Structure formats: structure tokens, C-alpha cells
Amino acid sequence: MIRKPLLAAGVAGLLALTAACSGGGSGEGGAGALTYLTFETPSLTSTFWNDSIAAAQKEAAGVKINRITAPSTDRDAYAKQLQSSGQFPDLLQSITPSNFVGAGLLKPYDKTWVEANFLLPQGNALKGEVYIPPTNSQIVPQVYYNKELFAKAGIAQPPKNWAEFLDACAKLKAAGVNPIELGGADPFAAGMPLVGIISADILGKNPKWLQDRYADKVKFADANVVTAVGKYRTLVSNGYFDKGALGVKYADSITRFTGGKSAMYPMGSWFLGAVPKDKADSFGSFPWPTDDGSVVVPFVVGGSMAISAKTKDPAGATKFAQAWSLNPANLKLLIETDGAFPMLKEKTLDDYGVTVTQVFKDSYAYVTEQNNKVSAIGWATNDDSLPPGLNDQFYAASQALFTSDDVAGELAKLDGAWKTATQ
Amino acid sequence: MLTGAATPPDPARPAPRRTRSWLPAARGDRGLFLLAALAFGPYLMFLVLPLLLSLRSSFTNQNPLRATNEFIGLRNYTEMAGDEQLRASLAFTLTLAVGVTIAANVLGVAFAILLNRTSLSYRVMRTIAFLPQVLSGVIVAFVWQTILTQNGLLNSMLTGIGLLDEPYPWLGSPRAALFSIGVVVTWVLSGFTTVVYLAALQGIPVELNDMAEIDGVRGGQRFRTITWPLIAPGTTISVTISLITVLKLYDIIAVLTGGGPANSTQSTALYIVKLAFTSDRVGYASAVAMLLLALSAVAALTVTSALRRREVSL
């Protein structure tokens, strides 16, 4: 018979093993530290996060931070895994708040502080509450173009409407230049033309379209959406994308475009960080073209961190998050390498000490000008966010429509996925 | 120490009553029992318990963001019948599993016969053949991604020597992506199958081959009459494990194509993860996981029992 002490020792051993296996985090910070979920990219390196944390800690004295890093850039999925294992972080960088607010996991920022510090205080608000300080913005997408290739094809000016856009594509193709670059192997990049088309043609005319979709007043399968998305098929069937575009990785699409393999590139403004400084004058940008030439800017506001509603130190977490969000040094790197357009009040680009290209300044002008800004479908973090799982379906539809003519069928599938996701 | 078993029984004494015969009597046996319990504990904790929790979850509407979940009976299981994405993922997974299992085992037998020598160079080649098996799936996928993407090594080579006019989308069309994933997974698994078949080949008595040589039985005839029947136990193991490995494949596909283009290479395991952590449907994902588990069990049992029938013993 096994004696009880032996059994107890066995169980204790197992528990110790389990604890060792489940211990997360970097191990820094010690007792009382707040966990801060970050992610890393070639631009936003470990050094950037550590430096930005140290700078914010100077403002928020006494707040200890234990930084953890998401294993991929999908912060939302990792935060959900952490939540399901009882380890939801105190602070979460660049997540999609709509995924978590419904479950009461996020704490809103003080409205007075938000109003006092940001150009578009309600830019990413959910039902009137702000869960991520609107420190910067992105245009998703703009069309970037290669001026030299345009000149080679005899195109004097960037297209202003859809007809001119098609004409430019035809001229480029006739000149032996691939008109549009698409990094279709990465689903989000494959979805860029559809984000542009639906944001410009549908949300441009009805900025409340996504709210109406939630209210079941409109559908993806409606005739106007089918007609708009049909434009994408026109681009594909006319051969304006590389035939093998669905095999091109996002990173390769950048090097292909900046290397002169294609004339146009619909992409989020983070592409501006990848424009080679020595060739920056060769590139320009224009908004995704509409039928009548009116300017519609698909827009996203975000940039900083959300605070857990369950944090053990709400005051410390808020102090740290506010300090981090208002630090121009943090935004400097985001502006230069991630094409982020700063949204702090009473500051010009010069106040950040940045060196940016002319194409960046031209693109930023669309943010500062009065124009028709609408939520970029699939990217918005406000009330226009898609239901959980819909982004994946949207990207899959974008890839499917590269080879399939069944526009109505693919959009009907999106309606089906919407129904399942909102049940 | 197993000292108790070595003591001779006293014939004058009646045999002690055997109570609780499942417990070893001697102190040394208790140690063994404890070791077995320690081995069995993690098995219970990390396999059986999660399995039971997953089974329970499959009857709920569990969401990773909610603290409480409702019992919804068989609703997740009935929903599966109308789930087109699930059907597509199962079709893809089964096609891949069958194709890769056949290819990896054919290659395994071929490589094993080629490498069944004792010289140093063959031993080095065996190690090289086994190398893909020891690499992490994620690393394998990243390596192959650099080979198979539009600007990858394969297209550069084929266009460079004039075999292709323009780069071929190896990962960019549903059929080509299925084929590409099949090649990569076959490459990985053939290391394992080669080792299994090598072990089986080395279990064939030398005398049998010598007699066959004397009788003039060579080449294909010797393979058909001696080698193939005698490596049957290896075939059972290799085919079963290959099949199960592909049925639950996740990492290589996640990195290589992410399930695309247009979900055409979405394995059932990948679909389960997306359901749980992208669509927030842990309950439904658990039900699909139970289906995959049942499917894997049925496939493994069917294949094992079919292949065991052709096993022979010397």
C-alpha cells in the first residue's frame, strides 16, 4: 500500500511540474508588477518596447512592469488564450477592444483626459467609451504608385476616379508593367483591394453601413455591394494583378513594389515606413478611387494600450498607460517605421523630431484635411469593428474572388458567417 | 530491490491469503508502483483530464472571454452537419492524409532498402534521411516557404534554367498548395518511415536471404515473396502513425499557407484553433476536436486491424 506521505509527495511533485510548465511572462518585474502584453516586429523591436516602458515608468513612478510578448502579431488571439487560462494581462498593446469589451474585460479611459489630449477623441470609441488612447491613425488602404513606371506608360497624373484608374491599369499593362502588386499569400494583404472598394464605394456613401449591417438593415449580398466588389473581379479578369499573386508573401510584395516590379500597391499607410529613403521621390500616393472621383479616406484610429478591467492596480496601470501614450518619443519610431500618423493635440510633425519622406507628408495631408473619412472595413477598432471571426472570412473571400467569378456567392457566405458570429 | 521474490517458500506454512492482489507486497515493488503512478499521473493530468474537459466543453457554448458557459446539449454536434467549412477541412485533411501516408511509406520502404547497409557512408545517409523528422514543424515550414513562394528558390531555379516562363504559384492556388503541402509533409514523415522499415528489414534473418540467393530469387520477386511479407509489422506501425500524424497536422500548414488560399488548405486541426481563438467558439471547437479524435481512432483501428491480418511471424 502506498503510504499517504508518498502519495502527497507524488501529487506535490506533479503540481510543481504543472506550475513550472504554466509559468508565463519574462520573469522580470517581481511581485506586484503589472503584466503588459506587447508584440514584436522588425520595426517594433524588444529594445523599442523596453525603452518605451522605461520612459513611461519615469512618469509613472513606482509602477513595475512585467512585459510579455505575443508569439505572433495576432495579439487578440493570444490575449484570448491568456484570458481562458486565467492570465489576462493588466495592459494590452494594440488589441481590438471590441473583442473584449463585451466580456467586460477592459476599463475605459477618463473622457476628460482623452478630450484634452487627442485630435479625434472619439475616433475609436465603442458606445461612447474610449478603451485605447487615439494616439495615431492609419489610412487603410491608399494606393501607392511608382512615378517612373507611370511616366513609362504615358500616365501624366495619378487617377482621380475609377474610370481613370482602369485606364491607367490598361496603359501600364500595355507598356509591359504589372499594374497592381498584391501580397495575396498573406490573407490580410490579399484583402486590401476589397477593403478599399467597400470602404470607398459602400461606406463612403453610407458611413453607418456597418451599424446598419449589425441591425440587419443591409447585407453583403445586396446589389450595391455585389456591384462594388465586381470591380475587383474586373481588375483580376483584366489581368491587372500578377497571375501568381496569391503565392506572393506580404514581405515580398513590398520588395517587389519598391523594386519596380509593379506600378501600384494598395496597402495600409504602414507601408510608408518601408519606402526606401534614397528612392522616396519616386513614389506617390492617392486615395482608393471612387466612381465620381470624390475623396473617401478609409481610416483607423488607435495606437496605444488597453487596460484590463480586472487589473489589481487600476491607478498604476492608468498612470503608466497615459504616460506611455503621451510620450512623443514612442510615437517618433511609430511615425518613422510604421507610417503612423500622430494624433496628439497641439503638435506638428516637427515636434516629434522625425525624418519623413514627401510621400509620407502627402499621405498625412489626407488625415489633417477635412474630407470624407470612413471606417476602414475589417480594420476599425470602434463601433464599426467586424464581429469575431469575420475578418478571416473577409480575407478568405478576397482570396476566393481572385479565382472565382461568384461574387454574389462569396458575399452571401460572408452574410452567413456574420449570422453565426453574432448569434 | 526485488528481494521478496528470491525467498524460497516454506512448504510447512500455509500460503498467505492473497488480499488486494493488485498491490505489490514487497517494499521494492512499492517503489516500482510509485514510479508507475508518477508516470501515469502526468498522463492523467495532461491527456486524460484535458480530454474529459474538452468533451464537457463540447456540450456547452464556451467562449474564451466569458467566465460562465451554458450547457447546450448536442447543439454543437448537430451544427457540424451543416458546416461547410468543416466539410471542406475534413475533405482536405483526409485527402492529404491518404496521399501523404502512401507516399511517405513507399519512400520509406525504398530508402530503407537502399540504406540497408552497414558501411559508414550509409550510416551517414541514414542520419540525413532521418533529419527532417527531428526538426520542428515550424522550422520545416519556414524553410520550405522560402523555397516555394513566388520569389522562392524553386521558381528562381526553374525560370533560371528555362523550364518555366514565369513563376508558378506553388502556394497560391488550391491544387498547387495541396500538392506542395503534401510534398513537405511527405519529406518530413519519410525520415520516420525509413527508420521503421530499416528496423524491420534488419529483423529479417540473413539465412532467408541467403537461401533465396541460392534459389535464384532476386530483385522484385525476392521483395514480393520475402521482404514485403516480413516487414509487415513495420508497415502496420508506419502506416498507422503516418496517418494519425497527418490527421492532426497543424504547425506546418499554419506557417506555410495559414490555411489559404481561400481556406482551401485549412486542415481540421487548424480550423479547430481558429474556431476557438479567432471566432471565440471554444465549445464548438471542442465538438469538432471530438469528431477529429473519433475519426483518427476509427482510421487507426481500421488500418491497424487490416494490416495486422497480413503480418507473418517466423
pLDDT digits (tens, 9 = 90+) for A201-240: 999 999 999 999 999 999 999 999 999 999 999 999 999 9
CA–CA gap between residue A19 and residue A87 (Å, rounded): 13
Q: How far apart are CA B224 and CA A391, in angstroms?
A: 54
Distance from CA of B172 to the nearest CA of A (A): 4
Which residues from B are below 8 Å from A399, CB to CB? 260-262
Q: What is the pLDDT of residues A323-356, one digit of tens each?
A: 999 999 888 988 998 899 999 998 888 899 999 9
Mean pLDDT along residues A173-197: 96
Residue of B nearest to A190 (CA): B261
Residue A264: pLDDT over 80: yes
β-pairing verdict for A341-342 and A178-180:
unpaired
Statement: residue B194 has pLDDT above 50 = yes
DSSP class of A364: H
| Minimum-distance CB partner of A247 among B42, B169, B280 | B169
| Residue B207: count of CB within 10 angstroms of its CB | 8
DSSP 3-state of A19: helix
Under a CB-based contact definition with an 8 Å cutoff, are residues B138 and B255 in contact? yes
| pLDDT category of residue A82 using cuts at 50, 70 and 90 | very high
A chain contacts of residue B262, beta-carbon cutoff 8 Å: 396-397, 399-400, 402-403
Are the beta carbons of A246 and B172 separated by less than 8 Å?
A: yes
Sorted by where each starts, the structural domains of chain A and their CATH numbers stand as: 11-134+303-346 (3.40.190.10), 141-267+386-422 (3.40.190.10)
Q: Is the pLDDT of residue B9 over 60?
A: no
Q: What's residue A8's pLDDT?
A: 42
Task: Indicate yes or no: CB of A244 within 8 angstroms of CB of B166.
Answer: yes
- A421: which chain B residues are within 8 Å (Cβ-Cβ)? 279
Q: Which residues of B touch A81 (CB under 8 A)?
A: 64, 277
Q: Which of A18-22, A195-199, A264-268 has the lowest mean pLDDT?
A: A18-22
| Helix residue spans in A105-222 (DSSP H) | 111-117, 147-152, 162-174, 187-190, 192-197, 209-214
B277 lies within 8 A of chain A by CB: yes
Taking the C-alpha atoms of residue B308 and residue B302, their distance in angstroms, rounded to an integer, is 10
In this predicted structure, which of A37-46, A89-98, B87-96 has the lowest mean pLDDT?
Answer: A37-46
From B309's Cα to the closest Cα of chain A, the distance in A is 41
- Taking only the tens place, the pLDDT of each residue in A299-326 is 999 889 999 999 999 999 999 999 999 9
Mean pLDDT score across all residues of chain A: 90
Q: Tell me the nearest-neighbour CA distance from B251 into chain A, angstroms.
A: 13
Query: Dihedrals φ, ψ of A25, to 5°?
Result: 80, 175
For the stretch A150-175, pLDDT in tens is 999 999 999 999 999 999 999 999 99
Task: Please say if the pLDDT value at position B62 is more than 60.
Answer: yes
Walk across the sheet containing A178-180 and list its strands. A178-180, A262-267, A142-146, A283-287
d(CA A78, CA A72): 8
**ipTM tops 0.90:** no
CB B222 within 8 A of CB B257: no
Task: Read off the pLDDT of residues A99-116 as tens digits, 9 standing for 90 and up.
Answer: 899 889 999 999 999 999
State the amino acid at position A330 in one-letter form: N
Number of CB atoms found within 10 A of residue A177's CB: 19
